[in-house]
Amino acid sequence: MAQTHALQALVEALKGLPGVGSKSASRMAYHLLQHDRQAATVLAAALTQAVRDVRHCSQCHTFTELEVCETCSDALRDGGQLCVVETPADQSAIERTGTYKGHYFVLMGKLSPLDGVGPKDIGLLKLKQRVQLGTVREVILATNFTAEGEATAHVISEMLRAFGIRVSRLARGVPAGSELEYVDLGTIAHALVDRR
C-alpha cells in the first residue's frame, strides 16, 4: 500500500527522533492514527506549545519558560558556587541529595566531536561569560564519569584556568562510566563533599 503524503511526512518526522528507526516510526504513526487519535492531538498540541514557550535560562542554560529559571532566581542559593552538569536529570540527582545549595550551569549535552557537538553547542561561551562576571568563587564539574563527560570536564577546567577560581571535580566515589542520573544519592552526596 502506498503511503499518503501526510502519513509519509509523519513517519519521516518520527524517524528523526533519537533511537527511532523506520519500523518503529511506522508503528508509532499507525498506532496514533488508527487507535489513538485523541493522544495524537494531545501530543501535537503539547509539542507546539513546548516549541513556542520553552527556552534556555539566560543564566544556567537549562530549559525554562522564564527569562531566568526558578533555581537561578532563588535568593537563598549561593551564587558563588556553580555546579556544571550535563542534563536537567543530573541536576535533579544532585538536588535530591539536599547537600548542595549553590547555582548550576546545565550544558544540555556533552562535548562529542564525532557527533559534531562542539563547545558552542553546550553553552561554554555562556559559562565563560558567567564566570567573567566575577561573582563565582568555585566551579564544581559534575559531568558524568564517561569518556565524553571526562573530556568535557577537562576542556572546561582548561577554559577556566585563567580566571583564578577554584575548579573542582566530583570525587571518584562515582563508578567510572556511570551517569549521575542512575547513581544512588549517598554516593553523589559523598562525591560532592570529597570533590577535589
- Least distance CB 85 / Zn ion (angstroms): 12
Q: Which is nearer to Zn ion, 11 or 141 (CB)?
A: 141
Pairing, β 55-56 against β 63-64: antiparallel
Task: Write phi, then psi, for 77 (nearest 5 degrees).
Answer: -90, 150
Q: C-alpha 152: how far from its chain's center? A: 13
CA atoms lying within 13 Å on the CB side of residue 45? 6
Q: Which is nearer to Zn ion, 72 or 140 (CB)?
A: 72
Q: Segment contacting Zn ion (CB under 5 A): 4-12, 39-47, 65-73, 78-86?
A: 65-73
Count of residues interacting with Zn ion (CB under 5 A)? 5
Question: Can residue 81 be called a binding residue for Zn ion (CB under 5 A)?
Answer: no
- Least distance CB 89 / Zn ion (angstroms): 15
Q: Which is nearer to Zn ion, 102 or 173 (CB)?
A: 102
Q: Do residues 7 and 33 touch, judged by C-beta distance below 8 A?
A: yes
Q: Which is nearer to Zn ion, 103 or 110 (CB)?
A: 103
Q: Which is nearer to Zn ion, 11 or 81 (CB)?
A: 81
Q: Segment contacting Zn ion (CB under 5 A): 23-31, 52-60, 85-93, 127-135?
A: 52-60
Q: How far apart are CA 119 and CA 131, in angstroms?
A: 16
Name which position in 57, 93, 153, 183 contacts Zn ion (CB under 5 A): 57
* Burial annotation 152-172 (CB, 10 A radius, 16+ → b, else e): bbebbeebbeeeeeebbbbee
Task: Provide the β-strand partners of residue 84.
Answer: 105, 141
Question: Can residue 60 be called a binding residue for Zn ion (CB under 5 A)?
Answer: yes
Binding region for Zn ion (CB under 5 A): 57, 59-60, 69, 72
